[in-house]
Structure 1
Amino acid sequence: MNGRIDHLSGDLFFENEMDIFLNRELESFTTLQHTHDFVEISFVGEGCGYHYIDEEVIYVKQGDLFVIPIGTSHVFRPSSPKQDKMLVIYNCIFRVELLDKWKHLLQQDSVTFDAINNPSQCSARWLHFQDKHDTFSLIVQNMYREYLKKSAGFETVLIALLIQMLVLLQRFEMVNETETASFRMFDEVVHFIKSRYTHNLTVQDVADYFFLSASHFQRLFKKSTGLSFTQYLQNVRIQKCCELLKSTDIPIYQIANQVGYQDMKFFHALFRKKTGVTPRQYRQNFQELDESDISC
């Protein structure tokens, strides 16, 4: 799929006994998939395309950041060979030895630390982050400018910025771990909603019950279900309405009240939006189906 895999030596990039190198590459289809004997942090600065890494192909766009350990094969390619489809990658490559004096500044029980210092023991072959708030974009661009200008003390600045980036990546890890732990309670959240959907249930009620902020809960909930809390709650209520309309003769307004809706105008509009028919039509349709089954 990607042609042969080449090995790139750090000797091609490092100069004047420096242990860090930066560049800005306009990716093409001519570059071969390759491994290297240095650590690489790649940041998608512009455009979109694909990252061929190990045996995977990942769609990438501006803001994607990868930590690529020693020995991991990869190559970036634009989404199309046409010149209007460009993919610009900022690469920061460095020898592992560069951080020997600074390891004590990093959290050593982290995947980021292991990916750089102990790749053979790391739980991940490579790391992928998304820079949603331009946190890393600013650091990468500052590093690139420092490398190009090579003003007095630029190596010290580059090392400081690299350590800052690694510390922030470790913080991202902690946030992701917290979110993963929060997702584990998702079944409990669903049970809580389904057991209380008849009440005037709000996002704040559920968030408080699980000791989360309302905004954080909504973000986790949307990520887990693809729906907002309100949309999910409406679906639960309308589904229960459908069950009652099919299986009972309870008046429609009482069914609406039972599932938590007092405003009948809103209820009818919502039911029609969700099912395509009115509650009365829904009940009649199923009564007609039952009669048809009996006649058969």
Structure 2
Amino acid sequence: MKHSKQTLKGERFFRHDLNLYVNRETEAFSLSQHAHEFIELAYVMEGKGFHYVESEVERISPGQLFVIPIGVSHVFRPASADVAKEPLIIYNCIFTPELIESIIPFVIDKPIITFMEELKEEGLRYYSVSDIDAAMEKLFLSLYQEYSLQQSGSSTYLNSLFLQLIVTMYRFKHNEIKALPSKQDRFMQVLLYIEQNYAMELTLSHLTEKFQWSERHLQRLFKQHTNQSYHNYLQSIRIRKSCEQLRNSQFKISRIAESVGYKDINTFIGLFKRMIGQTPSSYRQQFK
């Protein structure tokens, strides 16, 4: 794809009192490849597709965060032309170098300060980091909700969420660069596998066979690293994924239940109510 030299201006997005903008976008084919005079953090929330960056292209999938520096040309494209059936949903957090400068005085960790300073640089190469345990996903959802439904103190709260996101990005990027202890690295692969295959009949014995760990040892690792049993961890992912569909689709609740791994609708509704505090129907009604 030949990339455009179009540059998006910050004045198109930023309010006069806030150097931050958050949106949820269902990608299509209307926007041309473009650069911008601000920094963009783009999180793949749902669907699959492609990311064109300068003269490169790569496949993308949920749980990837892309850091797009000032001046870098890019665009997202869905995998299918039928975006109604196969949407590619991206959450964007864009911000100015001035936002970083205003927050740095409140940061006391020198590596984080250096990381934030680097984000402001023009000419920095784009990169991506992978989300583990949906840590960044939760922050993007909170950012979007706070930005869309602003209340008193929203600017302060948005800045605090933004700083949490920056620190989380740093941790993931740092862990991808250094050599992790083999046991920790293997367990992260277990978590990633569950995140990608949660709808399957995913038993603990299946994981022990695939990753060559005993059930007892895996249970101990889940308690140590997630503070949950394996069973509860899998349930939490399935319910979180069902919440995404309830917010963003009109699928029947029975279809959603089956798509996240529950064949019995009553089991799903009972579990959803216990974990979320309301029925799936009541939860969906909030987002209409």
The answer to whether the aligner puts 1:131 opposite 2:134 as a matched pair is no
Match of 2:121 among 90, 111, 118: 118
Paired residue secondary structure (2:52): strand
CA shift at 1:119, angstroms? 3.5
8 Å contact 1:34–1:74 — kept in the other structure?
Answer: yes
**1:118 partner letter:** E
Residue equivalent to 2:97? 96
Q: Distance in 2 between matches of 1:64 and 1:31?
A: 21
CA shift at 1:17, angstroms? 3.2
**2:121 partner letter:** N
Q: Distance in 2 between matches of 1:107 and 1:53?
A: 31
CA shift at 1:116, angstroms? 1.2
Q: Distance in 2 between matches of 1:38 and 1:217?
A: 34
Q: Distance in 2 between matches of 1:218 and 1:8?
A: 41
Matches within 5 A, 1:141-290: 141-178=141-178, 180=179, 212=181, 215-216=183-184, 218=186
Cα shift readout 1:223-254 (whole Å, capped 9, x = no counterpart): xxxx9789xxxxxxxxxxxxxxxxxxxxxxxx
CA shift at 1:114, angstroms? 4.8
Q: Distance in 1 between matches of 2:152 and 2:140?
A: 19
Percent sequence identity is 32
Q: Distance in 2 between matches of 1:139 and 1:217?
A: 23
Cα shift readout 1:133-164 (whole Å, capped 9, x = no counterpart): 10000000000000111111111111111111
CA shift at 1:5, angstroms? 3.2
User: Structure 1 unaligned runs (5+)?
Assistant: 183-211, 231-296
**1:6 partner letter:** Q
How has the CA–CA distance of structure 1 residues 165 and 14 changed in structure 2, closer, same or farther, with 3 Å as cutoff?
same
CA shift at 1:177, angstroms? 2.7
**2:91 partner letter:** Y
Q: Distance in 1 between matches of 2:118 and 2:33?
A: 20
8 Å contact 1:218–1:229 — kept in the other structure?
Answer: no
Residue equivalent to 1:190? none
How has the CA–CA distance of structure 1 residues 153 and 6 changed in structure 2, closer, same or farther, with 3 Å as cutoff?
same
How has the CA–CA distance of structure 1 residues 80 and 21 changed in structure 2, closer, same or farther, with 3 Å as cutoff?
same
Q: Distance in 2 between matches of 1:176 and 1:68?
A: 18
Residue equivalent to 1:21? 21
**1:169 partner letter:** M
Paired residue secondary structure (2:48): strand
Q: Distance in 2 between matches of 1:149 and 1:107?
A: 31
Q: Distance in 1 between matches of 2:48 and 2:176?
A: 24
Q: Distance in 2 between matches of 1:150 and 1:217?
A: 39
**1:101 partner letter:** S
Paired residue secondary structure (1:119): coil
CA shift at 1:112, angstroms? 4.2
8 Å contact 1:36–1:70 — kept in the other structure?
Answer: yes
CA shift at 1:171, angstroms? 1.2
**2:5 partner letter:** I
Q: Distance in 2 between matches of 1:221 and 1:16?
A: 44
User: Structure 2 unaligned runs (5+)?
Assistant: 191-209, 214-288
Higher Rg of the two aligned structures: 1
8 Å contact 1:45–1:90 — kept in the other structure?
Answer: yes
Q: Distance in 1 between matches of 2:186 and 2:164?
A: 30
The more displaced of 56-65 and 108-117 is: 108-117
How has the CA–CA distance of structure 1 residues 161 and 175 changed in structure 2, closer, same or farther, with 3 Å as cutoff?
same
The more displaced of 104-113 and 41-50 is: 104-113
The alignment of Structure 1 onto Structure 2 pairs a total of residues equal to 192
The answer to whether the aligner puts 1:69 opposite 2:69 as a matched pair is yes
How has the CA–CA distance of structure 1 residues 55 and 103 changed in structure 2, closer, same or farther, with 3 Å as cutoff?
same
Residue equivalent to 2:49? 49
8 Å contact 2:100–2:117 — kept in the other structure?
Answer: no
8 Å contact 2:80–2:86 — kept in the other structure?
Answer: yes
**2:90 partner letter:** I
**2:184 partner letter:** H
